[in-house]
A and B are shown apart, each in its own frame.
Chain A
Amino acid sequence: MANDKELSDFLKSAEKRAFKRTAYAVRDEDAALDIVQDSMIRLAEKYADRPVAELPLIFGRILSNATMDWFRRQKVRQAAVQNFSELGSDAEDGDFDLLESLEAVDGSWASQGPPDRLSREQTLAIIDAEVSALPARQREAFLLRYWEELDTAETALVMGCSEGSVKTHCSRAVHALAKALAAKGLKP
């Protein structure tokens, strides 16, 4: 059972990522704050007696549900569904050189001085924008799997889909990001 300090520590560690994840989805900072706040209260009211280890998964699920509720309330569900339907038309980028992109991302952080390199701040902003531009389900899978560091099964549970779908979403998200970052000039 999580005590007050453990609950507070967990929320403190998760709140900024939760806010960013929600802000990517709803594209409205005030709405994202409201959703995160509601999710925190819901976690505290209904699940504060759960073990600390279970809190990330439960909070992730609450946050996803709260975000979907927001879309329903805003009567823009159609737009969300449209985003989800984009998954079907994603082209496979099997021949894309992921290694080259990885080296690009690594390289852009390796040194910050040269004028011909993008500044660190600019690069962060580009990555932020490209993650934001991903289709909703790909972004959610990517953030849960690699940012929240949930495993594939946990991510599938939070997203309400199969593990195979999670892997597909993640793979497409990574390739889309790699391609987009390369196109923005993040090359060695």
Chain B
Amino acid sequence: MNGPTRSRRVDHDALQARFALRVASRLSEQSEKLPHDLSERLRVAREQAVARARQLRLTQPATATAFQVSQGSVALGQPPSGWLRLASVLPLMLLVLGLVMIQHLHDQAEIHAAAEVDAALLADDLPPEAYGDPGFVIFLKQPEQ
């Protein structure tokens, strides 16, 4: 029962496709006869689109390179040279050196201050042992008369 029905359906689909493709081919023929000004405007639009794609292709590698530099690899589209690698490490080295120097100067200043106090104590008329005397400490805490 289904055989003839299905066969008719297939025939109908084939017929429909054949008719549609015939009409479509006439549409193609018709569309090829577009007025010259329309064809020219389409050509210009096409050329603008292709130029835009070309422009984007040219700008995209530059953007990618900038990104790679910002990530610290300094690739620039080829293996990094020694100088470029050194240039990327140099700021870090300067920072560490600066911190070490600041620490060194700080230590020197503390030593210098301690030496000055020691020198003052030793050069004073009062013997250093006096500072160990409890009575002298109380005397120092008393307000001046």
Contact = CB atoms under 8 A, between A and B. Distances in A.
A40 B15 contact: no
B15 A99 contact: yes
A101 B22 CA distance: 11
A25 interface: no
Chain B contact residues, majority secondary structure: helix
A131 B50 contact: no
A170 B86 CA distance: 68
Interface string A57-86: 000000000000000000000000000000
B33 to A, nearest CB: 8
Interface string A2-38: 0010011001100111011000000001000100110
Interface residues of B, number: 36
Chain A contact residues, majority secondary structure: helix
B50 A44 contact: yes
Contacts of B21: 146
A178 B12 CA distance: 13
Given A98-B15, A146-B17, A147-B28, A127 B23 contact: yes
Given A33-B42, A40-B45, A8 B30 contact: no
A101 B34 contact: no
A117 to B, nearest CB: 15
A165 interface: no
A128 B24 CA distance: 10
A37 B40 CA distance: 12
Nearest to B56: A45
Contacts of B50: 4, 7-8, 11, 44
The residue in B33, B38, B43, B54 that gathers the most chain A C-beta atoms within 10 A of its C-beta is: B38
A133 interface: no
A16 B38 CA distance: 9
Contact of B27 (A12, A20, A40, A41): A20
20 contacts: A4-B50, A15-B42, A19-B31, A20-B34, A29-B38, A36-B45, A37-B49, A40-B46, A41-B48, A44-B49, A44-B53, A45-B53, A98-B12, A102-B18, A124-B33, A125-B30, A127-B26, A131-B27, A143-B27, A177-B23
Interface of A: 4, 7-8, 11-12, 15-17, 19-20, 29, 33, 36-37, 40-41, 43-45, 48, 98-99, 101-102, 105-106, 109, 123-125, 127-128, 131, 142-143, 145-147, 170-171, 173-174, 177-178
